[in-house]
Amino acid sequence: METEAETRRTWAEISLDNIAHNMHAIRAALPAGTKFLGVVKADAYGHGAIPVARRLETEGADYLAVACLDEALALRSAGIQAPVLILGYTPPECVPELIARRVTQALGSAADAAAYAAAARACGGTLRVHIKMDTGMSRLGFSWEDAADIAAACRLPELEPEGIFTHFAMSDLPGDAAAKSYTEMQFARFTGTIAALEQAGVRFQIRHCANSGAVVNYVEMTALDMARPGILLYGYGDSSGRLGLRPCMRLMSRVCAVHQYAAGTRVSYGGTFTTSRETRMGVVPAGYADGLHRCISNRCAFAVPGGMAPQRGRICMDMCMIDLTDLPEAGLGSPVEIFGETAGLDAMAEAAGTITCELLCSVSRRVPRVYR
Ligand SMILES: *Cc1c(COP(=O)(O)O)cnc(C)c1O
């Protein structure tokens, strides 16, 4: 598992047990019988798609979802057997590969339906699809008003329309009345069009729309046949605390140098920080190339033995500085938690003007993932 080489510089500790815990906690919040799809796109939000998918499969996840073909093929090559849905676009040339590797494809337009069906016919196979319906996200998908196009796509003999789904634009803004009515409108469009399709004899085995925000804020309304959480699975997002979810990644480093500076010393590029007193400054070998956004320079703090150390000066590509003056327990070689248990990712996301998803996905490839 953990080797000295991996933990010498900067590393991400991943708790697969916490991911399993989160999956079961989310399941417990869903109406009985709701299927569970684990979203493992973007390398499982930075946690490592293959180990995460393996664990979810072992824990009984019904479906996995990724963003693109390469992510799906990586799961299949690693021996993952669970159904895998590609949420994004795949070019029709790749249909033979989708069929051969038993990957389910989102289908969002009449043109794609025709091209996929032609490609499936040419290779003598059937492509399993989930119809993607746009109900207000204004991204991919058949318009909710195009029930006739959806029905026509579903009647193509080379396509097997197993499911239908939509994506909410504002389900994660609780307490915002406009967001609530927008979500309700999206849901009404979704179920209204499904009802019209059923009238026309087109039925779907798996209807799904609940992303993390919907699981948290509208679970009874939106669960339908399957829930589709991403960020919640990794322990973040509003109400992750209420559901008892646990963060699954700790971004760790070690103090690699300690210096004593006189008052009036300027620190790092641009001299944006000047010591106001005699200062004991630690160097942390983690920078923006590891995923530490430069925009939070001078506006974040990391957990070290004895407390939180304020970050000082511009964050560089490969390292940054922290103030250890008031933290005598911390010194050369001390572990530094950039985010995780004590140093909250939510606060860092707020400081960066972004969301926790983006920070998790930013932890770069050169940061080894260490599984516990
Ligand atoms: C990314 C994604 C999800 C998961 O979103 P979270 O907000 O992380 O739960 C669900 N559905 C679709 C279509 C997505 O693209």
pLDDT in tens, 184-220: 999 999 999 999 999 999 999 999 999 999 999 999 9
pLDDT of residue 308: 98
The residues that bridge with 46 in the sheet, in sequence order, are none
Compute the distance between CA of residue 84 and CA of residue 63 in angstroms, rounded to an integer. Answer: 6
For residue 87, the ligand 1 atom closest to its alpha carbon is 13
Task: Tell me which of 211, 212, 215 to substitute to probe ligand 1's pocket, judged by most ligand atoms within 8 Å of the beta carbon.
Answer: 211
Q: Identify the burial level of 77 via C-beta atoms within 10 angstroms of its C-beta, where 0-12 means exposed, 13-18 middle and 19 or more buried.
A: exposed
For residue 2, what pLDDT band results from cuts at 50, 70 and 90? Answer: low
Candidate list 41, 116, 132, 234, residue with the active-site label: 41
**Helix, strand, or coil here: 11?**
strand
Report the pLDDT averaged over residues 88-116: 98
Compute the distance between CA of residue 335 and CA of residue 124 in angstroms, rounded to an integer. Answer: 57
Residues 223, 208 contacting (CB under 8 angstroms): no
Residue 269 among the catalytic residues: yes
Q: Single out the residue of 352, 325, 326 nearest to residue 338, CA to CA.
A: 352
Residue-wise pLDDT tens digits, 340-350: 999 999 999 99
Residue-wise pLDDT tens digits, 254-282: 999 999 999 999 999 999 999 999 999 99
For ligand 1, say whether the CB of 228 is within 6 Å of any of its atoms. yes
Q: Single out the residue of 52, 206, 59 nearest to residue 128, CA to CA.
A: 206
pTM score, whole prediction:
0.96
Residue 35 among the catalytic residues: no
Residue-wise pLDDT tens digits, 131-187: 999 999 999 999 999 999 999 999 999 999 999 999 999 999 988 999 999 999 999
Residue-wise pLDDT tens digits, 287-298: 999 999 999 999
Q: Residue 294 contacts by C-beta under 8 Å, 6 or more apart in sequence?
A: 288, 314, 315
pLDDT of residue 1: 46
* pLDDT mean across residues, the chain: 96
Percentage of the chain exceeding pLDDT 90:
95
Judged against a pLDDT cut of 90, whether residue 7 lies above it is answered with no
As a residue count, the chain comes to 372
Calculated CA dihedral for residues 195, 201, 205, 206, nearest 10 degrees: -30
Residues 354, 320 contacting (CB under 8 angstroms): no
Residue-wise pLDDT tens digits, 9-41: 999 999 999 999 999 999 999 999 999 999 999
Compute the distance between CA of residue 93 and CA of residue 111 in angstroms, rounded to an integer. Answer: 14
